[in-house]
Amino acid sequence: MSIAGLGPHGERASPPQRVALSPADIDAAREKGFRVAIVMHTLESDFARQQLQGLAGTMGDCGTAVIEVVDCGFSPEAQIAGLDRLLHEAPDAVISLPVANAAVAAAHAQLSAAGISLVLLDNVPTGLLPGKDYVALVSADNSGLGRIAAELLAPHLPNGAEIGILGYDADFFATNERELAFSRWMRRERPDITLRTSRFGSIRVAGETALSLWTAQPALSGIFVVWDTPAREALSALARQGWTGPVATIDLGRDVAASLARGGPVVAVAAQQPHYQGVIAAQTAILAMLGQLTPDWVALPGIPVTRANVAESFQTVWRRPAPPEVLTALLPSRREKK
């Protein structure tokens, strides 16, 4: 699948194959015995845990020790403190998901200045440059994810519908790209649809934001939320007040998978591959530590998921069978298939 978007500096995407490790690379890494640290936005989500598994497993295969995992709890202050501490521990590489933009830029830039290979996940603070301030960005094709969500939601929307976009009110590369790509596709392919945008500052207030949007725009007949956890909050708040309609989001969390399997309200998901992303980020870091040239931006394509392929997509994304609530909800249609 081709990559729809451009990188944070307008770079063309490099496919994950560009950072494949040869047996000689793995041997060389084992010989060196590198030490790396991982700085995550949170460790509370399935997504983060899967990314971490991919990272740690691949690092282990290459004889590289993960000396610390920092949980920032979405807090820029916690991330800055964690990065400052790591600076003194001097690992060979740090893999970090920047939780903010300008606030955490300097804390990240100081790692590269100190000779530590910095691989970023999902986000690049404005002003940081590849090759100078960090080695590479590894992310999903977020623009492609937004486009997939729009394409899959569109058939569920009547002509002339009004739909809501719930964006994230932080300057974050991944969510910005998803929001822009979703609205761009709708404007081009479904000009009959009116888009109403509102943004939540944190997951906690996503439900309130959704309700305010609905109050201001009572004709809303569908919603796109830029990732699944706030989508869950928005949906439960809206459902309590009696709103129904099709919903599209990004990431195949357990709840949205179950909703897809039941036939709604979530009808479309564009899924990232967190485990695979962790593997690719680890490979990129290994190559950088070996002194090899790495691409500025490695992008992984998204997976379009509907009720028709939710079970197998769940397996691809999470590397385990779909949960019982998904399989049970699919049972009648599976039997029909046979």
Partner 1 sequence: MQALDREDEGTRSRGRGRPRGSETASGSVIEILNLVRTGQATTRQEIERVGEFGRAIVADRLALLTELGLVDESELGAATGGRAPRLVRFAADRGRVLVATLDQAALGVGIADLSGRLLMEHHEPADLTEPATTILDRVTSLFDWILSRQSGPGAAPWAISLSVPAPVAEAGGTFLTETPPILPGWEGAPFVEALVRRYGTPVWMRSSVETMTMGELHGGAGMGCTAMLFVKVGKRIGAGLVCDGRLWRGALGAAGLIGQLTIQAGERTGTLDALAGSEMIAREGQAAAEEGRSTLLADLHRRHGALGAAEVSQAAQMGDRVAMEILSQSGRLIGHVVATLANALNPEIIVLSGSVAQSNDILLAAVREAVYGASHPLVTRDLRIVRSQMSSSAGLLGAAMVAVEGLFAPPMLKDWILQGRPMAHPSFTALRERFEEPAPAQPAAPRNARA
Query: In the complex, which residues of this chain contact partner 1 (CB under 8 A)?
Result: 2, 4-12, 14-15, 18, 101-102, 126-127, 129-132, 143, 171, 176-177, 180-181, 184, 187, 197, 293, 295-296
Closest distance of CB 11 from partner 1, Å: 5
The residue among 82 and 230 lying less far from partner 1, judged by its C-beta, is: 230
Q: Which is nearer to partner 1, 182 or 276 (CB)?
A: 182
Return the number of the residue (46 or 171) whose C-beta is nearest partner 1. Answer: 171
Beta strands 117-121 and 35-40, pairing class = unpaired
Taking the complex as a whole, the smallest distance from the CB of residue 120 to partner 1 amounts, in Å, to 14
Output 43 or 180, the one with its CB closest to partner 1: 180
Nearer to partner 1, 96 or 176 (CB): 176
When the beta carbons of 4 and 55 are compared against partner 1, the nearer one is 4
Nearest-approach distance from CB 45 to partner 1, in angstroms: 25
